[in-house]
Homo-oligomer: A and B are copies of this chain.
Amino acid sequence: MEDTDFAKRIRFGRLYDFYGGLLTDKQKNIMELYFYDDYSLAEIAAKENTTRQAVYDLLKRVEQTLEKYEKKLKLLERDENQHFEVRAAAKLLKTYISEGHEDPRLKETEKILQDIEEKGR
């Protein structure tokens, strides 16, 4: 959960994107402050009238809850496998187009692949 552990933070955010709907309103509220408004733990504590430690504990518990859902449903894992395939397809098409094959259908296909890649889920 430390900001230095960037990959872990990204995973936490993606888990929230998949399973956040199953959290309580309070948990969601704090996750939104943490991820979307980029508040520090101390700032969240001040806003919620609690301690930095309590916010830390809540986020830790949320992380465990989300990991528990991932263990049961594996939606993130499945999505990452698909993401890899989509990126491979986009790359193949890109090299083909770059050799002078101009066609709006190719461009459109490339755009759709990029869309899917960016959206993740």
Contact = CB atoms under 8 A, between A and B. Distances in A.
Contacts of A74: 21
A93 B90 CA distance: 12
Interface residues of A, number: 32
A89 to B, nearest CB: 4
A54 interface: no
A121 interface: yes
Interface string A60-85: 00000000010011110011001001
Interface string A77-121: 011001001101100110110000101011011001101100101
A85 B22 contact: no
A18 interface: yes
A56 interface: no
Nearest to A115: B85
